[in-house]
Amino acid sequence: MSFGDWLNERVGYREPLRRLLDEPIPGGARIGYVWGGALALLLLIEAVTGALLMTAYAPSATTAWASVAHINFTLRAGWLIRGLHYFGAQALVILVAVHVAQLAIHGAYRAPREVGWFLKLGLLLMILGFAFTGNPLPWDQDGYWGTRVETGIMGAVPVVGTLTQELVVGGSSLGHMTLTRLYALHVFVLPAATALLLAGSFALFRKHGFGAPHGANLSKADRFFPKQLGMILLAGAVALVVLFDLAAIEHGAPLEAPADPVSDYTARPAWYFRPLFELRKFFPGSLELIATVGLPAVIGLYLALLPFIDRKPGPLRARLPALAPLFLIGLGAAGLLAKSFASDAKDEGYQRSQAQNAQRTARAIALFKQGVPPEGALAMLRNDPETRGEDLYKKECASCHRLNDLGPPKDKQTAPDLTGFGTKAWALEVLRDPDADHLFGKTPFKEMMPSVVKPPADPEAAKVFTPMSAADQETIAAFLEAQARGEPSAGTAGEKLVRQRCTSCHRLDGKTDDEESAAPELRGWASVAWIEAQIANPGSGKAYPPAAMAKDLEGHMPAFEEKISANDRKILAAWVYRRGLGEAAAGAKAPEKKP
């Protein structure tokens, strides 16, 4: 007795399999019938890859990001498994929408197939539920902030919104409880519900068979095997090839920097929720409920009632009044999706935020490869001088100062632009035009320092004004750059010129001709120590003298010695120094891992 005979004798699999393979298809095999089968194959891929990912994933806010990074960057073939799972989820959303639309166009919801239609709508909701619960699991910036947007929409639902939001989030804010609840939904609750829906759909399919579209030649009939099954397997193979290609192109799936609840991140939901996100913009304030609750509820009710609205079979053109809302829903969703991405492409602030986030992500991955501390990936970033420095700058400095792409727009800054601070070029700009808007022109120090090349406004003074030679400008600027870099400059030509031309106002080694002047100390100018002293107390004399803090100089830089810790002041000063000299964030070396 063969193994097949032995197994059939005990479970009787051959007869059900024969009936399935011999299932007649009225009107013949069709490409339109592949979507359900392709959907089932993709769900199988998601189940297999998801089970493999579960073996390495650690569901907590402390460990989730590091475990996903481990899958992506160190686990053998982990990037491929995660890429297949990630892009398979995107494909599922598309396929289930196409499948539901195909059933509607073919009228496959009419009696006696109404219950099957309801099960397909339930499957659509399950797949959207998988997407909603799966996106935050890496606990990166995109997943965290996208979930903030999505749960915010959930909380706006009248009566049950707040309760539902708290049940999903696990409290008032996203954290450990959120992740564990979403994980439980993603790997236990939703798979069980989906399995029941699939089983019910299959049982009803076996009962009612294929529903031929109007106008099909019913005298023609194919068996399910081999033609229709071949089409389904071919569609599944094409989908699998596309998934492999996308995973290979992206080398897995995207993983942004670890989720940081206090960071400045421009949040967007996943692409399949973007139409709803974009729709909200047309309904400001309290009217937002129309977009987030009213219209989705109307759409859901329409889809549920469609079998009772469109009862009579007929050609598609005769059924257009009943199906017109479905076409409008599809076109509207596509239009809102395109508008959302087009708006973001034109939004300079959003694009700048994305570029900064890409830098932060690259930094996080570089640090991960050196090891993640027990406190988690977010602590890893916050303890990193490069990342911590940027965060401190954004929080404490960027409201007034501009540095490269960080800070207010160029016409809105109220303090000197620090881009290039400490360089010869920056010093030359100050010498030649100190009152330029991007330097001191919008500060209380405007008109305190004269230009070395422009005659003063006073006609009498202008008569005796002699511009500084280009050679002397270069020499002084080179001396100042040497101070910033900590290079020896005692006795140089630059130092001599500074003593001759600058100490009538400025200090050099604490000495000046005008003790009441508010001009800064030039020894060590723009060095890390000088910047740190300026942050702690601009009137300490180590950077600017006490006169710089005079009450009549309203709007001067405040002291931060009570607001920023000594360690953070050192980190911020070093970060401003590096960025001022043009060191790129991505090029900054990660700290050495301690043995």
Show the tokens assigned to 299: 């759409």
DSSP H/E element including 279: helix 274-279
pLDDT for the residue numbered 332: 96
Rounded Cα distance between 564 and 391, Å, is 12
CB 566 within 8 Å of CB 537: no
* pLDDT for the residue 490: 86
Give the pLDDT of residue 584.
55
Predicted confidence (pLDDT) at residue 160 exceeds the cutoff of 80: yes
Helices and strands, number each (H, E), in the chain = 24, 2
Average of per-residue pLDDT across 515-544? 94
Average pLDDT over residues 146-170: 86
Ordered domains of the chain (ranges, CATH): 3-346 (1.20.810.10), 379-580 (no CATH)
For residues 284-295, average pLDDT:
86
pLDDT of residue 593: 38
| The dihedral formed by the CA atoms of 97, 151, 305 and 284, expressed in degrees to the nearest 10 | -100
pLDDT for 332-368, tens place per residue?
999 999 999 999 999 988 998 899 899 999 999 999 9
Mean pLDDT of the region 129-136 = 95
For 582, residues 6+ apart whose C-beta sits below 8 A from its C-beta are: 420, 423
Max CA-CA distance within the chain?
Answer: 118
- With contact defined as beta carbons under 8 Å apart, do 389 and 576 qualify? yes
Rg of the chain in Å (alpha carbons): 33
Q: What is the mean pLDDT of residues 262-273?
A: 88
What is the spatial distance between Cα 47 and Cα 34, in angstroms, rounded to a whole number? 20
What is the rounded CA–CA span in Å between residue 548 and residue 560? 15
**Amino acid type, 392:** L
**What is the per-residue pLDDT for 192?**
97
Report DSSP letters for 243-288, one per residue: HHHHHHHHTS----SBP-TTS-------GGGHHHHHHGGGS-GGGH
Give the per-residue pLDDT at 59: 94
Average pLDDT over residues 308-326: 91
Report pLDDT for 121.
97
Average pLDDT, the chain: 91
* 458-479 tens-digit pLDDT: 888 888 899 999 999 999 999 9
Distance in angstroms (rounded) separating the CA atoms of residues 125 and 131: 10
Look-up: residue for tokens 């068996």? 223
- Per-residue pLDDT, averaged over 386-392, amounts to 91
Please determine, for residue 588, whether its predicted confidence score (pLDDT) is greater than 90: no
**What is the pTM (predicted TM-score) of this model?**
0.82
Short-list 36, 15, 440, CA closest to 205: 36
Mean pLDDT of 489-513: 93
CA distance to 188, 306, 354, 391, 586, per residue, from 360 (Å): 34, 48, 10, 10, 8
| Coil, helix or strand at residue 259 | coil
pLDDT tens digit sequence for 206-245: 888 887 787 788 778 888 899 999 999 999 999 999 999 9
Please give the sequence-ordered ranges of beta strands (E in DSSP) within 171-235, or none if there are none: 221-223
Inter-residue contact 378 to 259 (CB < 8 Å): yes
* pLDDT average, residue stretch 97-106: 93
3-state secondary structure of 574: helix
User: Is residue 222 within a helix (H) or strand (E), and if so which, with residue range?
Assistant: strand 221-223
Q: What was the pLDDT predicted at 592? A: 40
Sequence-distant (≥ 6) Cβ neighbours of residue 275 within 8 angstroms? 332, 333, 336, 337, 340
Q: Which residues, at least 6 apart from 27, have a Cβ–Cβ distance to it below 8 Å?
A: 212, 213, 216, 217, 218, 220, 221
What is the percent of the chain with per-residue pLDDT over 90, rounded to a whole number?
Answer: 69
**Span of 96-110, 278-292, 479-493 with lowest mean pLDDT:** 278-292
Note the pLDDT of residue 590: 39
* Higher-confidence position of 152 and 563: 563
CB distance 205 to 6 below 8 Å:
no
How far is residue 39's CA from residue 339's CA, in Å, rounded to a whole number?
28
pLDDT digits (tens, 9 = 90+) for 4-20: 899 988 899 889 888 88
pLDDT band at 190 (very low <50, low <70, confident <90, very high): very high
